[in-house]
Chains A and B, each alone.
Chain A
Amino acid sequence: DAGITQSPRHKVTETGTPVTLRCHQTENHRYMYWYRQDPGHGLRLIHYSYGVKDTDKGEVSDGYSVSRSKTEDFLLTLESATSSQTSVYFCAIRIGTGEHEQYFGPGTRLTVT
Chain B
Amino acid sequence: GNSVTQMEGPVTLSEEAFLTINCTYTATGYPSLFWYVQYPGEGLQLLLKATKADDKGSNKGFEATYRKETTSFHLEKGSVQVSDSAVYFCALPVSGSARQLTFGSGTQLTVLP
Which residues of chain A have a CB within 8 Å of any CB of chain B? 4, 31, 33, 40-43, 45, 48, 50, 58, 90, 92, 94, 99-107
Contacts and interface: CB of A to CB of B under 8 A. Distances in A.
Contacts of B93: 100
A43 B89 contact: yes
B45 interface: yes
A70 B89 CA distance: 31
B42 interface: yes
Interface residues of B, number: 19
Contacts of A40: 105
B99 A106 contact: no
Contacts of B103: 42-43
18 contacts: A4-B43, A42-B106, A43-B103, A43-B106, A45-B100, A48-B100, A58-B100, A92-B44, A99-B32, A100-B98, A101-B34, A101-B46, A101-B49, A101-B101, A102-B46, A103-B46, A104-B45, A105-B43
Residue picked from A42, A106, A107, most chain B C-beta under 10 Å: A42
Contacts of B32: 99-101
Interface of B: 31-32, 34, 42-46, 49, 89, 93, 98-101, 103-106
Contacts of A105: 43
B105 A102 contact: no
Contacts of B100: 33, 45, 48, 58
Nearest to B34: A101
A107 B89 contact: no
A106 B43 contact: yes
